[in-house]
Structure 1
């Protein structure tokens, strides 16, 4: 279970590194400053967002790209020798030695001959659902981006950006600004980090356990069930 969690955690970490808006959205202004945005700056920022993050950006980024990326990440993770993967998970050396060069993929294929196909289908379905979900969120994200740009940049700065984006070169840059992060070369570079992430995951989980050691343990069994209404 820990292994599966680590695999998907590593995949999620890589996918999450594709920026939702490629911007640092941490608040730098006070609450009162955030409450008031100059209308002229906001209007200019809306134009900027139309260039850099038009509606349909998430679909363009994710459709046919993210599912392939996830397939590759999972394939790389599951094709690693079990002995190498299980180091750091509390498995004794003798048990690790018995694993030899067998991979998790080998083990799963013994139990389910259609394991690879099942994983590919599952990944595709989940990615398609994520595309729909992220597309539905785009209007709110675009509005937030416009607010952020309006606070970070002056009207003159935004006007200069928009003037550049209106040129042939600026338009080409804006059109593919976000797509750079899902370029096959970028995806390959990101996927090369999977082995290191998998190797680091046990130590990360150990730190999580240490950081939460002061909390009461999770309830299990009947005690974990919510009380019935008539109780």
Structure 2
């Protein structure tokens, strides 16, 4: 279940950071136009006001995560089994038993444990995002400076100066974690889980022509020595008789 929580967390949090990647990395090496960047910085300050991510993690995002994990717990165990590669016959034998039904037998405090774990994770995530917020703001400004022309940026600036624009700027990001999005993500969990086996199969198909990774016993003495040096360790010396 911890893996499920982490996977959901990453899936939901990634779009918030991905907003800064509207251009390919190759283009991001060149400095944006200074005039456009100056205006874009003002826009980024309005779109990501101070403390925004910590507020999101402490309230809306926490509720979204609890709702999504709760929805995932009501998905039949057989859907998880498909992700693990269980045969169709074995999957069919599992019936409609849900993850929640199984977990409540293993752990009578399962639901309370999940909620406490979620709140603790969100608290730490809020602290992390608070430290990342200035970097995200800078990256967003650079992305806007590349994506929009100076007249377009100035038009956005004028819009953000209006009551409606100001309201939009300070609330648009947080609305993505609001109750409507929370409900939509929770409702989508069964469909997401049903598609997971296909995603896993696609990933496996994409690498099927590659040799399997080496195991420790497959390494030559030279390769072992190289790894030990990279990790700052020394090769074991044979025991003296």
- TM-score bin, normalised by smaller chain: 0.7 to 0.9
| Aligned residues between the structures | 225
- Do residues 193 (structure 1) and 226 (structure 2) align? no
Asked if structure 1 preserves the Cα contact closer than 8 Å seen for 2:63 and 2:182, the reply is: no
CA distance in structure 1 between the partners assigned to 2:170 and 2:201 by the alignment: 43
The equivalent of 2:57 in structure 1 is 62
Asked if structure 2 preserves the Cα contact closer than 8 Å seen for 1:10 and 1:197, the reply is: no
**CA separation of 1:76/1:40 partners in 2, compared to 1, >3 Å: closer, same or farther?**
same
Tell me how far 1:30 sits from its aligned partner: 4.3
2:34 to 30, 35, 39: 39
Asked if structure 1 preserves the Cα contact closer than 8 Å seen for 2:20 and 2:136, the reply is: no
The equivalent of 1:149 in structure 2 is 144
Asked if structure 2 preserves the Cα contact closer than 8 Å seen for 1:18 and 1:181, the reply is: no
Q: What SS class does the counterpart of residue 203 from structure 2 fall into?
A: helix
The equivalent of 1:217 in structure 2 is 213
Deviation string, structure 1 residues 115-135 (Cα, Å, up to 9, x no partner): 111111111111211111111
CA distance in structure 1 between the partners assigned to 2:35 and 2:171 by the alignment: 27
**CA separation of 1:229/1:103 partners in 2, compared to 1, >3 Å: closer, same or farther?**
same
CA distance in structure 2 between the partners assigned to 1:84 and 1:148 by the alignment: 39
Tell me how far 1:9 sits from its aligned partner: 7.0
Asked if structure 2 preserves the Cα contact closer than 8 Å seen for 1:10 and 1:194, the reply is: no
**CA separation of 1:130/1:9 partners in 2, compared to 1, >3 Å: closer, same or farther?**
closer
Q: RMSD of the TM alignment (CA)?
A: 3.0
**CA separation of 1:31/1:208 partners in 2, compared to 1, >3 Å: closer, same or farther?**
closer
The equivalent of 2:165 in structure 1 is 170
Deviation string, structure 1 residues 130-160 (Cα, Å, up to 9, x no partner): 1111111111111111122222223332222
Q: TM-score, normalised by structure 1?
A: 0.81
Q: What SS class does the counterpart of residue 109 from structure 1 fall into?
A: helix
Q: TM-score, normalised by structure 2?
A: 0.78
Structure 2, gaps ≥5 residues long: 237-241
CA distance in structure 2 between the partners assigned to 1:49 and 1:31 by the alignment: 17
1:229 to 231, 234, 239: 234
Tell me how far 1:98 sits from its aligned partner: 4.4
The equivalent of 1:111 in structure 2 is 106
